[in-house]
Structure 1
Amino acid sequence: MEKHVLALQLSQLLGEEFSREWVYSLIETPKQEKMGDMAFPCFKLSPTFRKSPQDLASELAPRLKHDLFTRVQPTGGYINIFLNQSLIAEHTLKKILTEQEDYGKHSFGEGKTVVLDLSAPNIAKPFSMGHLRSTVIGNALSNLAENCGYETVKINYIGDYGTQFGKLLAAYKKWGDEELIRSNPLAELTKIYVKFHEEAKQDPSLIDEGRDWFKKLEQQHPEALKLWKWFKDASLEEFNKIYQLLGIEFDLTRGEAYYNDKMEATVDLLKEHSLLSNSEGAEVVHLDEEGLPPCLIKKSDGTTIYATRDLTAAIDRYQNYTFDQALYIVGHEQSLHFEQIKHVLGKLNFPWAQDVKHISFGMMLQDGSKMSTRRGKTILLEKVLEEAIDRAKVNIEEKNPSLENKEDVARQVGVGAVIFHDLKHDRRNDVEFSLEDMLTFEGKTAPYLQYAYVRAQSILNRGGFEINSGTPALNDEQAWLVIKQLRSFPEIVEKAYKEYDPSKIAKYLLDVAKGFNQYYASVKILNEDNHLDSRLTLVYSFSLVIRKGLELLGIEAPKRM
């Protein structure tokens, strides 16, 4: 509200050239409390008005007046605004109490559909920490989209096709042990897959055997199909254990192989638009005008490639869901691939091609390098989750052995720690795997946030808090930091979705929890006086926001720990 008021007043003072939206985008929050609650920098106005930012600030500040502002002061090239704390506090708490679960929700996505392609592990390979990022970032973005009014479709696009499966089939025929694989499918399949690549360094003919088996798979060879289906079913069963632990569900689980009988239609469509060219026996779409290398559609041996399947999948998804956005939550090493896909769809004259977006993210590193199944360098997500839960159990036994539902709380805390360790990082940055950092129950972690929520619940229970229709005034200077943070929650949610960046929610929650803990340490919240109800209302508002924020990240908030 106050930002919109400031933006409206300034745009009216500055003239039509400076829109309210433009002014709003420049409003800042000062780093120091003594500099006010909002600030507008005048530096970008200087060229137009041919005045220094300092002079412009001095001229504009006295003309900004509103009940929400207690003081407007020019400082250097900035206009600093101090807000009416009691008015803002009352409005904020009343809004939270009125809206309850709807606080922080938006309606700009209503009537629109977002399709999200996330997780996408490969069958016959373990679910490693490398796949955690796509899974939890994609799930958080889906939660944010729903919170903003969108209809969401979460698709787990399983990697169940391609030349690597030819290599796996060849490896199984050479070294596979059916009994061992049935008892521990992913570990044994990974073992023979790694062995294949090691042996291929000495015997390159193995690569040809892998290609032959993939060709058999494409040609529906009975033995190849039987083995492939077995490996796929066993893999999905193992993956579902992980998803249950993470608390993540999908609207659709579909493998690349689903598009086998649909790819020729895509190839025909490319031919109809005269987009296919022959390149050394292979079929490609040239993207010279876009400054990109050719997009390979068919290899020289006639087999398809994942670009063919992704094009087919995109067309199929639009036909089924008429999406307004199609988000591919895939690592940044696939950026070129998705640029090519988007441009090829554009050349096919699909107007929705511009709504296909690659939401890239950095790698999960181990000792500074990428994890790799073929090199046998992976860390299993299931093992990490299990250890996180075990450590949470130990923590509970030490600090609160009489806690009810210890198993459930340990799962919430342990799994939450793993998810938050990923989401607190900007998705575009690489993340170095560290079990110690991930499972630390202090500092910038989910358990720190969960404990702040538990503390708030305890205060509310001891204070006998009940939601009533009135909102008592909060004349508490020390509560002002928390009020301002709670007030910014809807704006943070909107920004996190529009920038496809869940870390904005994670960082915000850390700040608001820190502010609340400082308030708790400096104020006797349960002191019996005229302001008890207002302080409990603040605690309740904090607890609602921290729980909703954690839910958006896919993390549960236990009421006791």
Structure 2
Amino acid sequence: MIDKQLIVNSIFEAVEGQLAKSDIEQTIEKPKYAHLGDYAFPCFTLAKIFRKSPNIIAKEISGKVNNDFIEKVEAVGGYVNIFLKQSEISKGVLSSIVSSQSVYGQQKNGEGQTITIDFSSPNIAKPFSMGHLRSTVIGNAVANIAEKNGYDVVRINHLGDWGTQFGKLIVAYHLWGNKELIEQSPVRELLKIYVKFHEVAEQDDSLNDQARAAFKKLEQGDEEALQLWQWFRKASLKEFEQVYALLGIRFDSYAGEAFYNDKMDRVVELLAEQGLLEESDGAMVVNLENMPPCLIKKTDGTTLYATRDLAAALYRNETYNSTKSFYVVGNEQSLHFKQLFKVLEKMEYGWAKELQHIPFGMMLKDGKKMSTRKGKVVLLEEVLNDAIQLAGKNIEEKNPNLKQKEEIAKVVGTGAVIFHDLKNHRMNDIEFSLEEMLNFEGETGPYVQYTHARICSLLRKGQYNTEISQFEGLSDEAWPVVISLKGFPEVVAKAFELADPSQIAKYLIELSRAFNKYYAHTRILEDDVTRHVKLTLCASVAIVLEEGLRLLGIQAPEEM
């Protein structure tokens, strides 16, 4: 099958090695309009090298670019426009997809390597809100994309299950807690008393002193405090797992902050042994160049997030022998991770250079960050249930005789919520809008899912099976679909390289549009000599749509 690299090699020879192959690959464009070819190479950067105008250079290069897959080459206004042989490419693309099925697009660059991916990480005894959606679905998609690139992936949910908030909760429970109500609805009731604690503490600061004392008891192993903490943790996890089940997300480890309580002394000792630990106003820090010092121990001797994360990084590297580690955590934690990675580099761990923070923008409500303390949260489970209900309503209106309506409504509703997040570049803030999220028209998950379901219907009616696949005889109208299918492996590689699931989401929209345009102008089930090749094209699109949605953590129903 044709690879972009063949075009790169041909241009490299034509420019007599004056540009590196990597530069050529980054420079090659996909023309906006089909009549301008399948690839375009702009010659403007070569003008200084050859001391000629881009138009002249384009004409000279166009006469030298050729290989077995190129139909023709044209020079147009400083660009070298390359047209591929449609029949050859179509045959190669379709046969590759049909023969490899869901394996199509699989990359090998990560084979034999392990990545740990730290994502989701909600706080125990706090609700799983829309604010947690981003880390959860971005992390899951990045994990799937990493596997598609050949890596072994360890999915880690670094739970927020330790800290002074548990002192606050213990005090709040003693003052206002109702055991029966909490057992019925743990997180909702714990949130109520947590919010009340902050409201009352604004008027009575002594509550904060009580909370600090309660957490100190917990740290010292007080039996009652530990029992309450274990109860809060277990009850919260049970609720979280309901949300993960709805989203179809799994983890290999739930080792949270508390897991590293007995592993932090080693970190402090290692830092001291290497002479990296310094005193600063009674606290212990590691001084860093061009950024604030990393605080390791407070004046009262307690450890901090950085200490835990250092312990976690060491543990993960030693336990999983990971070659890379990703942290899918909000953009506001960027400084923390820069400090963390720098400290590990100063400790002379070579693998520290393979640690990567994958930041993302915030989920906003009315232009502001959601706040658990003030009770301004939108519960993720409620949003998912609303989306499922709306999907069910649409099914009742448009296809009331559909089998397994409830299951398909669940797949479509959750898919809408996930896709709405992942179609945006992760660094963008997203304004929470239930109306927009549950819009089933336009650039949405349900649009892609419906395209897949429509194709499955065509394949059933056409009684397609892979044994009657044909790969030649497509009309010119099918070419944009073939070109889009051909690009999937490249998109898979780029999505991993940029740690950006929106590359996949945008690609799926583009492929769906290309197919629907083709479908609108082609009688696919017409019984003529091209019927089987048209069905083969349909089957290829269905395979790639299903696999692309899977990478995003979304299912592709065969009926809708």
TM-score w.r.t. the length of structure 2 is 0.98
Matched, 1:275 2:287: no
Q: Secondary structure of 1:182's partner?
A: helix
Matched, 1:307 2:306: yes
In structure 1, what is the Cα distance between the partners aligned to 2:164 and 2:297?
13
Match of 1:139 in 2: 140
Contact (CA 8 Å) 2:58, 2:79: kept in 1 or not? yes
Contact (CA 8 Å) 1:118, 1:157: kept in 2 or not? yes
Contact (CA 8 Å) 2:90, 2:471: kept in 1 or not? no
Match of 1:260 in 2: 261
Q: Secondary structure of 1:157's partner?
A: coil
State the shift of 1:206 in Å: 2.1
Amino acid of the structure 2 residue aligned with 1:365: L
Q: How does 1:364-403 map to 2 (within 5 A)?
A: 364-403=363-402
Matched, 1:296 2:284: no
Contact (CA 8 Å) 1:162, 1:306: kept in 2 or not? no
Identical-pair percentage: 53
Aligned residues: 559
Matched, 1:439 2:438: yes
State the shift of 1:17 in Å: 4.3
In structure 2, what is the Cα distance between the partners aligned to 1:402 and 1:360?
44
Match of 2:78 in 1: 77
Provide Cα deviations, 1:445-499, integer angstroms capped at 9, x if missing partner.
Answer: 1111111111101111111112127634134011011010011011111111111
Match of 1:125 in 2: 126
State the shift of 1:260 in Å: 0.6
Q: Secondary structure of 1:200's partner?
A: helix
In structure 1, what is the Cα distance between the partners aligned to 2:327 and 2:129?
19
Match of 2:161 in 1: 160
Q: Secondary structure of 2:81's partner?
A: strand
In structure 2, what is the Cα distance between the partners aligned to 1:164 and 1:44?
57
State the shift of 1:108 in Å: 1.0
Amino acid of the structure 2 residue aligned with 1:77: G
In structure 2, what is the Cα distance between the partners aligned to 1:74 and 1:2?
22
In structure 1, what is the Cα distance between the partners aligned to 2:299 and 2:432?
40
Q: How does 1:199-238 map to 2 (within 5 A)?
A: 199-238=200-239
Match of 1:150 in 2: 151
Provide Cα deviations, 1:205-227, integer angstroms capped at 9, x if missing partner.
Answer: 22222222222221112221111
State the shift of 1:2 in Å: 4.7
In structure 2, what is the Cα distance between the partners aligned to 1:102 and 1:182?
45
Q: Secondary structure of 1:260's partner?
A: helix
In structure 2, what is the Cα distance between the partners aligned to 1:266 and 1:237?
32
Contact (CA 8 Å) 1:117, 1:327: kept in 2 or not? yes
In structure 2, what is the Cα distance between the partners aligned to 1:255 and 1:430?
27
Contact (CA 8 Å) 2:28, 2:42: kept in 1 or not? yes
Q: How does 1:141-540 map to 2 (within 5 A)?
A: 141-287=142-288, 289=289, 291-468=290-467, 471-540=470-539
Amino acid of the structure 2 residue aligned with 1:325: K
In structure 1, what is the Cα distance between the partners aligned to 2:3 and 2:262?
57
In structure 2, what is the Cα distance between the partners aligned to 1:378 and 1:433?
11
Task: Structure 1: give runs of 5+ residues left out of the alignment.
Answer: none
Provide Cα deviations, 1:279-305, integer angstroms capped at 9, x if missing partner.
Answer: 222111111x2x111111111111111
Amino acid of the structure 1 residue aligned with 2:88: L
Match of 2:31 in 1: 30
Match of 1:90 in 2: 91
In structure 2, what is the Cα distance between the partners aligned to 1:178 and 1:466?
59
In structure 2, what is the Cα distance between the partners aligned to 1:16 and 1:88?
27
Match of 1:544 in 2: 543
In structure 2, what is the Cα distance between the partners aligned to 1:99 and 1:558?
21
Match of 2:107 in 1: 106
Amino acid of the structure 2 residue aligned with 1:78: Y
TM-score w.r.t. the length of structure 1 is 0.98
Contact (CA 8 Å) 2:14, 2:65: kept in 1 or not? no
State the shift of 1:20 in Å: 2.2
In structure 1, what is the Cα distance between the partners aligned to 2:471 and 2:254?
50
Task: Structure 2: give runs of 5+ residues left out of the alignment.
Answer: none
Q: Secondary structure of 1:252's partner?
A: coil
Q: Secondary structure of 1:362's partner?
A: coil
Q: Secondary structure of 1:63's partner?
A: coil
State the shift of 1:16 in Å: 3.7
Matched, 1:9 2:10: yes
Q: Secondary structure of 1:253's partner?
A: coil
Higher mean C-alpha deviation, range 252-261 or range 211-220: 211-220
Match of 2:20 in 1: 19
Q: Secondary structure of 1:121's partner?
A: coil
Q: Secondary structure of 2:403's partner?
A: coil
Amino acid of the structure 1 residue aligned with 2:479: W
Q: Secondary structure of 2:158's partner?
A: strand
Please provide the CA RMSD for this pair: 1.2
Contact (CA 8 Å) 1:124, 1:190: kept in 2 or not? yes
In structure 1, what is the Cα distance between the partners aligned to 2:329 and 2:512?
31
Amino acid of the structure 1 residue aligned with 2:14: L
